[in-house]
């Protein structure tokens, strides 16, 4: 007997939605150790001050309209 997963058709759809929510939450979470910046904001700040520490531009690896 299959159980209903809230408003989702399958367990996989529910799992994908929860994973996307957690990624967005963790991405936007501001951390005390980074002085109130999100991890992404901190990486961009360090990249602008010390670009030689990075092999690739972190701004090119973000999700957006063209992905």
Tell me the per-residue pLDDT of 17-63, one tens digit each, with 9 for 90 and over: 888 888 788 777 777 777 888 888 888 899 899 989 888 887 777 66
Q: How many CB atoms lie within 10 A of CB 58?
A: 14
pLDDT(6) > 80: no
pLDDT(64) > 80: no
Q: Give the pLDDT confidence score for residue 49 in this predicted structure.
A: 93
**How many angstroms separate the CA atoms of 32 and 13, rounded?**
33
By CB atoms closer than 10 A (0-12, 13-18, 19+), residue 51 is exposed
- Higher pLDDT: 59 or 13? It is 13
**Backbone phi and psi for residue 8, each to the nearest 5 degrees, phi listed first:** -100, 145
Radius of gyration of the chain (CA): 17
Closest alpha carbon to 43 in 54, 52, 33, 30: 54
């Amino acid at each position: 007997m299959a159980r209903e997963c809230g408003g989702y058709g399958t367990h996989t759809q529910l799992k994908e939605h929860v994973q996307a929510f957690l990624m967005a939450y963790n991405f936007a979470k501001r951390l005390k150790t980074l002085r109130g910046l999100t991890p992404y904001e901190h990486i961009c700040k360090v990249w602008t001050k010390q670009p030689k520490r990075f092999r690739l531009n972190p701004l090119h690896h973000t999700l957006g309209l063209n992905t």
